Amino acid sequence: MIKAETIKEVRDQVRAWRKEGLTIGLVPTMGYLHEGHASLVDKAVSQCDRVIVSDFVNPTQFGPTEDLSTYPRDFERDCRLLEEHGASLVFHPSVEEMYGEDAATYVEILNDMPKRLCGQTRPIHFRGVCTVVSKLFNIATPDKAFFGMKDAQQLSIIKKMVRDMSYGIEIVGCPIIREDDGLAKSSRNTYLSDDERQAALVLSKAVKLGKEMAENGEKDAAKILDAQRALIEKEPLAKIDYVSAADFDTLEPATEVKEGTLFAMAVYIGKTRLIDNFLF
Protein backbone atom coordinates (compact mmCIF):
# COMPACT_ATOMS: atom_id res chain seq x y z
CA MET A 1 0.00 0.00 0.00
CA ILE A 2 1.31 3.41 -1.00
CA LYS A 3 1.38 6.10 1.70
CA ALA A 4 1.01 9.56 0.16
CA GLU A 5 1.26 12.81 2.07
CA THR A 6 1.08 15.23 -0.84
CA ILE A 7 -1.55 15.99 -3.46
CA LYS A 8 1.09 15.61 -6.15
CA GLU A 9 1.93 12.04 -5.12
CA VAL A 10 -1.74 11.07 -5.39
CA ARG A 11 -2.15 12.79 -8.75
CA ASP A 12 0.96 11.13 -10.18
CA GLN A 13 -0.18 7.69 -9.01
CA VAL A 14 -3.71 8.24 -10.36
CA ARG A 15 -2.26 9.28 -13.73
CA ALA A 16 -0.17 6.10 -13.84
CA TRP A 17 -3.20 3.94 -13.00
CA ARG A 18 -5.31 5.71 -15.60
CA LYS A 19 -2.65 5.01 -18.22
CA GLU A 20 -3.11 1.30 -17.44
CA GLY A 21 -6.88 1.70 -17.86
CA LEU A 22 -7.61 0.93 -14.20
CA THR A 23 -10.74 2.12 -12.36
CA ILE A 24 -10.40 4.01 -9.09
CA GLY A 25 -12.51 4.01 -5.94
CA LEU A 26 -12.28 6.64 -3.20
CA VAL A 27 -13.14 6.16 0.47
CA PRO A 28 -12.95 9.50 2.31
CA THR A 29 -12.36 9.07 6.07
CA MET A 30 -11.20 11.07 9.07
CA GLY A 31 -9.09 8.12 10.24
CA TYR A 32 -9.25 6.20 13.54
CA LEU A 33 -10.71 3.50 11.38
CA HIS A 34 -13.13 0.81 12.55
CA GLU A 35 -15.10 -2.00 10.95
CA GLY A 36 -17.50 0.55 9.45
CA HIS A 37 -14.69 2.09 7.43
CA ALA A 38 -13.34 -1.39 6.66
CA SER A 39 -16.70 -2.33 5.11
CA LEU A 40 -16.44 0.72 2.82
CA VAL A 41 -12.94 -0.33 1.76
CA ASP A 42 -14.14 -3.90 1.16
CA LYS A 43 -16.98 -2.68 -1.03
CA ALA A 44 -14.62 -0.35 -2.93
CA VAL A 45 -12.08 -3.15 -3.46
CA SER A 46 -14.86 -5.38 -4.82
CA GLN A 47 -15.96 -2.74 -7.37
CA CYS A 48 -12.76 -0.90 -8.39
CA ASP A 49 -9.29 -1.86 -9.60
CA ARG A 50 -7.54 0.52 -7.21
CA VAL A 51 -8.80 2.03 -3.94
CA ILE A 52 -7.65 5.32 -2.46
CA VAL A 53 -8.51 5.98 1.19
CA SER A 54 -8.10 9.51 2.52
CA ASP A 55 -7.24 9.71 6.22
CA PHE A 56 -7.62 13.37 7.16
CA VAL A 57 -9.28 15.09 10.11
CA ASN A 58 -10.80 17.99 8.19
CA PRO A 59 -10.80 21.18 10.26
CA THR A 60 -13.30 23.05 8.07
CA GLN A 61 -16.15 20.75 9.10
CA PHE A 62 -15.70 21.34 12.85
CA GLY A 63 -17.39 24.25 14.61
CA PRO A 64 -15.42 26.39 17.08
CA THR A 65 -16.81 24.51 20.13
CA GLU A 66 -16.46 21.03 18.62
CA ASP A 67 -13.93 18.24 19.15
CA LEU A 68 -11.35 18.99 16.43
CA SER A 69 -8.36 18.97 18.78
CA THR A 70 -9.43 15.84 20.68
CA TYR A 71 -10.68 13.85 17.68
CA PRO A 72 -8.94 10.45 17.98
CA ARG A 73 -6.03 9.68 15.66
CA ASP A 74 -3.89 6.55 15.13
CA PHE A 75 -2.40 6.55 11.66
CA GLU A 76 -0.21 3.49 12.16
CA ARG A 77 -3.19 1.38 13.23
CA ASP A 78 -5.21 2.79 10.32
CA CYS A 79 -2.48 1.70 7.88
CA ARG A 80 -2.52 -1.86 9.24
CA LEU A 81 -6.31 -2.08 8.84
CA LEU A 82 -6.20 -0.59 5.33
CA GLU A 83 -3.43 -2.93 4.21
CA GLU A 84 -5.39 -5.93 5.52
CA HIS A 85 -8.45 -4.83 3.56
CA GLY A 86 -6.60 -4.28 0.30
CA ALA A 87 -6.49 -0.49 -0.07
CA SER A 88 -4.02 0.60 -2.75
CA LEU A 89 -3.10 4.04 -1.41
CA VAL A 90 -3.71 5.96 1.78
CA PHE A 91 -3.68 9.75 1.45
CA HIS A 92 -2.69 11.32 4.76
CA PRO A 93 -2.03 15.01 4.13
CA SER A 94 -1.28 17.74 6.64
CA VAL A 95 -3.74 20.60 7.05
CA GLU A 96 -1.17 22.84 5.33
CA GLU A 97 -1.01 20.49 2.34
CA MET A 98 -4.80 20.49 1.99
CA TYR A 99 -5.55 24.14 2.66
CA GLY A 100 -2.29 26.05 2.26
CA GLU A 101 -2.07 29.35 4.06
CA ASP A 102 -5.00 31.23 2.65
CA ALA A 103 -7.61 28.84 1.22
CA ALA A 104 -10.91 30.70 0.97
CA THR A 105 -12.98 28.75 -1.55
CA TYR A 106 -15.96 26.73 -0.33
CA VAL A 107 -18.56 24.48 -1.89
CA GLU A 108 -21.90 25.02 -0.28
CA ILE A 109 -25.51 23.96 -0.84
CA LEU A 110 -27.53 27.14 -0.44
CA ASN A 111 -30.89 25.51 0.31
CA ASP A 112 -32.20 24.07 3.59
CA MET A 113 -30.53 20.65 3.29
CA PRO A 114 -27.40 21.59 5.29
CA LYS A 115 -29.50 23.40 7.92
CA ARG A 116 -31.72 20.46 8.81
CA LEU A 117 -31.04 17.56 11.25
CA CYS A 118 -27.37 17.83 12.31
CA GLY A 119 -27.18 21.25 10.61
CA GLN A 120 -29.30 22.76 13.37
CA THR A 121 -26.43 22.43 15.86
CA ARG A 122 -23.58 22.21 13.32
CA PRO A 123 -24.21 25.18 11.00
CA ILE A 124 -20.90 25.12 9.06
CA HIS A 125 -20.39 21.34 9.13
CA PHE A 126 -21.73 20.42 5.69
CA ARG A 127 -20.03 23.34 3.98
CA GLY A 128 -16.75 21.91 5.29
CA VAL A 129 -17.74 18.40 4.20
CA CYS A 130 -18.73 19.49 0.68
CA THR A 131 -15.52 21.48 0.33
CA VAL A 132 -13.13 18.75 1.44
CA VAL A 133 -14.97 16.02 -0.47
CA SER A 134 -14.86 18.17 -3.63
CA LYS A 135 -11.13 18.62 -3.14
CA LEU A 136 -10.67 14.87 -2.68
CA PHE A 137 -12.73 14.27 -5.83
CA ASN A 138 -10.53 16.73 -7.74
CA ILE A 139 -7.33 15.12 -6.43
CA ALA A 140 -8.27 11.43 -6.77
CA THR A 141 -10.68 11.79 -9.76
CA PRO A 142 -12.37 8.50 -8.78
CA ASP A 143 -14.97 6.57 -10.76
CA LYS A 144 -16.83 5.79 -7.54
CA ALA A 145 -16.78 7.11 -3.99
CA PHE A 146 -18.02 5.21 -0.95
CA PHE A 147 -19.82 6.71 2.04
CA GLY A 148 -21.46 5.11 5.07
CA MET A 149 -25.19 5.36 5.77
CA LYS A 150 -24.40 6.15 9.40
CA ASP A 151 -23.79 9.73 8.24
CA ALA A 152 -27.07 9.67 6.33
CA GLN A 153 -27.41 13.43 5.99
CA GLN A 154 -23.83 13.63 4.71
CA LEU A 155 -24.59 10.94 2.11
CA SER A 156 -27.76 12.74 1.00
CA ILE A 157 -25.88 16.05 0.74
CA ILE A 158 -22.93 14.54 -1.15
CA LYS A 159 -25.34 12.96 -3.64
CA LYS A 160 -27.01 16.34 -4.12
CA MET A 161 -23.65 18.08 -4.53
CA VAL A 162 -22.51 15.52 -7.11
CA ARG A 163 -25.72 16.05 -9.11
CA ASP A 164 -25.55 19.85 -8.88
CA MET A 165 -21.84 20.11 -9.62
CA SER A 166 -21.97 17.59 -12.52
CA TYR A 167 -19.31 15.31 -11.07
CA GLY A 168 -19.01 12.13 -13.14
CA ILE A 169 -18.62 10.06 -9.98
CA GLU A 170 -20.95 7.32 -8.74
CA ILE A 171 -21.73 7.68 -5.04
CA VAL A 172 -22.15 4.33 -3.30
CA GLY A 173 -23.89 4.28 0.09
CA CYS A 174 -22.97 1.44 2.45
CA PRO A 175 -24.93 0.04 5.44
CA ILE A 176 -24.28 0.97 9.06
CA ILE A 177 -21.96 -1.47 10.83
CA ARG A 178 -22.83 -2.13 14.47
CA GLU A 179 -21.19 -3.62 17.54
CA ASP A 180 -22.63 -6.98 18.69
CA ASP A 181 -24.93 -5.19 21.12
CA GLY A 182 -26.25 -2.81 18.44
CA LEU A 183 -24.23 0.39 18.97
CA ALA A 184 -23.35 1.91 15.60
CA LYS A 185 -19.58 1.88 15.05
CA SER A 186 -18.08 5.36 15.37
CA SER A 187 -14.65 6.77 16.02
CA ARG A 188 -16.31 8.91 18.68
CA ASN A 189 -17.37 5.82 20.70
CA THR A 190 -13.86 5.95 22.12
CA TYR A 191 -14.91 9.03 24.11
CA LEU A 192 -17.46 7.01 26.14
CA SER A 193 -16.88 5.87 29.75
CA ASP A 194 -18.14 2.41 30.70
CA ASP A 195 -21.43 3.82 32.00
CA GLU A 196 -21.86 5.98 28.93
CA ARG A 197 -21.04 3.05 26.64
CA GLN A 198 -23.96 1.18 28.21
CA ALA A 199 -26.26 4.23 28.05
CA ALA A 200 -25.35 4.77 24.37
CA LEU A 201 -27.29 1.62 23.49
CA VAL A 202 -30.40 3.76 23.76
CA LEU A 203 -29.76 5.08 20.24
CA SER A 204 -29.69 1.71 18.51
CA LYS A 205 -32.62 0.52 20.65
CA ALA A 206 -34.64 3.54 19.51
CA VAL A 207 -33.62 2.89 15.90
CA LYS A 208 -34.69 -0.74 16.25
CA LEU A 209 -38.00 0.26 17.81
CA GLY A 210 -38.74 2.76 15.06
CA LYS A 211 -37.78 0.34 12.34
CA GLU A 212 -40.07 -2.35 13.75
CA MET A 213 -42.98 0.09 13.97
CA ALA A 214 -42.43 1.18 10.36
CA GLU A 215 -42.08 -2.41 9.13
CA ASN A 216 -45.28 -3.31 11.00
CA GLY A 217 -47.15 -0.71 8.97
CA GLU A 218 -47.11 2.47 11.06
CA LYS A 219 -47.60 5.29 8.54
CA ASP A 220 -47.57 8.24 10.95
CA ALA A 221 -43.98 9.39 11.36
CA ALA A 222 -44.87 11.42 14.48
CA LYS A 223 -45.99 8.27 16.30
CA ILE A 224 -42.67 6.58 15.59
CA LEU A 225 -40.70 9.66 16.62
CA ASP A 226 -42.72 9.98 19.85
CA ALA A 227 -42.02 6.36 20.73
CA GLN A 228 -38.32 6.79 19.98
CA ARG A 229 -38.12 9.95 22.07
CA ALA A 230 -39.94 8.33 24.99
CA LEU A 231 -37.48 5.45 24.95
CA ILE A 232 -34.44 7.74 24.84
CA GLU A 233 -35.77 10.02 27.58
CA LYS A 234 -35.80 7.05 30.00
CA GLU A 235 -32.00 7.02 29.86
CA PRO A 236 -30.65 9.54 32.42
CA LEU A 237 -27.27 9.97 30.66
CA ALA A 238 -28.93 10.75 27.31
CA LYS A 239 -29.94 14.19 26.10
CA ILE A 240 -31.71 14.43 22.75
CA ASP A 241 -30.30 16.85 20.16
CA TYR A 242 -32.93 15.82 17.60
CA VAL A 243 -35.07 12.84 16.66
CA SER A 244 -36.54 13.53 13.21
CA ALA A 245 -38.04 12.04 10.08
CA ALA A 246 -37.10 13.42 6.67
CA ASP A 247 -37.17 12.54 3.00
CA PHE A 248 -33.76 11.03 2.30
CA ASP A 249 -33.30 12.81 -1.07
CA THR A 250 -34.41 16.31 -0.08
CA LEU A 251 -34.12 16.19 3.75
CA GLU A 252 -37.54 17.91 3.90
CA PRO A 253 -39.41 16.94 7.10
CA ALA A 254 -41.57 13.83 6.59
CA THR A 255 -44.93 13.22 8.24
CA GLU A 256 -45.87 10.06 6.37
CA VAL A 257 -43.75 6.90 6.46
CA LYS A 258 -42.90 5.70 2.95
CA GLU A 259 -39.98 4.36 0.95
CA GLY A 260 -37.15 6.85 1.26
CA THR A 261 -38.18 8.17 4.68
CA LEU A 262 -35.12 8.64 6.88
CA PHE A 263 -35.48 8.43 10.65
CA ALA A 264 -32.41 10.10 12.11
CA MET A 265 -31.30 11.12 15.58
CA ALA A 266 -28.47 12.85 17.38
CA VAL A 267 -28.20 12.24 21.12
CA TYR A 268 -25.65 13.46 23.63
CA ILE A 269 -24.42 10.70 25.93
CA GLY A 270 -22.63 12.76 28.55
CA LYS A 271 -20.55 15.16 26.47
CA THR A 272 -20.34 12.86 23.45
CA ARG A 273 -22.71 13.52 20.57
CA LEU A 274 -23.70 10.30 18.79
CA ILE A 275 -25.88 9.77 15.71
CA ASP A 276 -27.86 6.83 14.37
CA ASN A 277 -30.65 6.28 11.85
CA PHE A 278 -32.59 3.95 9.64
CA LEU A 279 -33.87 4.44 6.11
CA PHE A 280 -37.30 2.92 5.40
Which SS3 state, helix, strand or coil, does residue 79 take? helix
Question: Cα(192)–Cα(196) distance, rounded to whole angstroms?
Answer: 5
Q: How far is the CB of 251 from its own copies (least distance, A)?
A: 11
Question: Cα(134)–Cα(148) distance, rounded to whole angstroms?
Answer: 17
Contact between 216 and its own copies (CB under 8 A)?
A: no
Q: 150 to 189, contacts with its own copies by CB under 8 A?
A: 160-161, 163-168
Contact between 111 and its own copies (CB under 8 A)?
A: yes
Contact between 69 and its own copies (CB under 8 A)?
A: no
37 is catalytic: yes
Name which of 146, 183, 180, 178 is nearest 162 in CA terms. 146
Q: Are 268 and 239 in contact (CB under 8 A)?
A: yes
Residue 147, amino acid = F
How many positions of this chain bind its own copies (CB under 8 A)?
A: 34
Q: Which is nearer to its own copies, 95 or 165 (CB)?
A: 165
Q: Which is nearer to its own copies, 6 or 198 (CB)?
A: 6
**Given 53, 139, 174, 206, the residue binding its own copies (CB under 8 A):** 139
Q: Which residues of 201-223 are buried (b: 16+ CB within 10 A; e: fewer)?
A: bbbbbbbbbbbebbeeeeeebee
Contact between 104 and its own copies (CB under 8 A)?
A: yes
Query: Considering Cα of 127, then 133, then 134, then 136, what sign does the dihedral take?
Result: positive
Contact between 22 and its own copies (CB under 8 A)?
A: no
Residue numbering of the annotated binding site for ATP: 30-37, 148-151, 177, 185-188
Chain residues that interact with its own copies, rule: CB under 8 A? 7, 11, 18-19, 21, 98-100, 102-111, 113, 130-131, 134-135, 138-139, 141, 160-161, 163-168
